[in-house]
Amino acid sequence: MKDEAHVGVFYSAGRDLDAEMRQVAARFPDGRITLLLPPELAEARRNAGAPCEIFTAPRVRSLGDLVRLARLLRRHRFSDFITFYPSRRLRILAALSGARRCAVVDEQGTWTPLSASLAVALLRAACNEIRGRAAWLRVWAVVRFRRVGAGFE
């Protein structure tokens, strides 16, 4: 007997939620779908009578908030975890969810698996952070140490 899919869908403001949910429902017709929404969207969605379970995802402002969110996600025991934006924070969140399969769905409807483990997701995030800070430092150094009028003819 095949296990029923329990799909966690993390949505933040931006794209058309109804269109995105139709894609997820088409992909998992017999699955149980749990929609994770920010607090300001969750109540409106509950009042609209959404055909799926709605879970309010708390804001993450500290490491403690992240740990609480990870525990809540793992408690749901998702078989699949879907996000709609390929940010490094959502990749880490997907890895923390404990789901067997994680994917990001882009604006064209293409499903791309997120195959990285938590360690790889954290390492990539740290490398991107270092790369971004190094670029900022290079720009700062050029602006700070350039002589007035140098290079402007």
What pLDDT, on the 0 to 100 scale, is given for residue 31? Answer: 82
Q: Using the Cα atoms of residue 59, residue 62, residue 64 and residue 70 in order, give the sign of their dihedral.
A: positive
Q: Which residue numbers in the chain have pLDDT < 70?
A: 1-3, 12-15, 42-51, 116, 147-153
44/62 Cα distance (integer angstroms): 26
Cβ atoms of 38 and 24 within 8 Å: the answer is no
pLDDT of residue 151: 59
Which residue type occupies 75? Answer: R
pLDDT tens per residue across span 73-93? 888 888 888 888 777 778 888
pTM of the full predicted structure? 0.67
Model pLDDT, residue 50: 56
Please say whether the beta carbons of 7 and 35 come within 8 A. Answer: no
Instruction: Please name which of 102, 80, 77, 75 lies closest in space to residue 91, comparing C-alpha atoms.
Output: 102
Res 89: pLDDT: 78
Check residue 57 and report its DSSP letter. P
Element of type H or E holding 83: strand 80-83
Q: Which helix (H) or strand (E) holds 86?
A: none
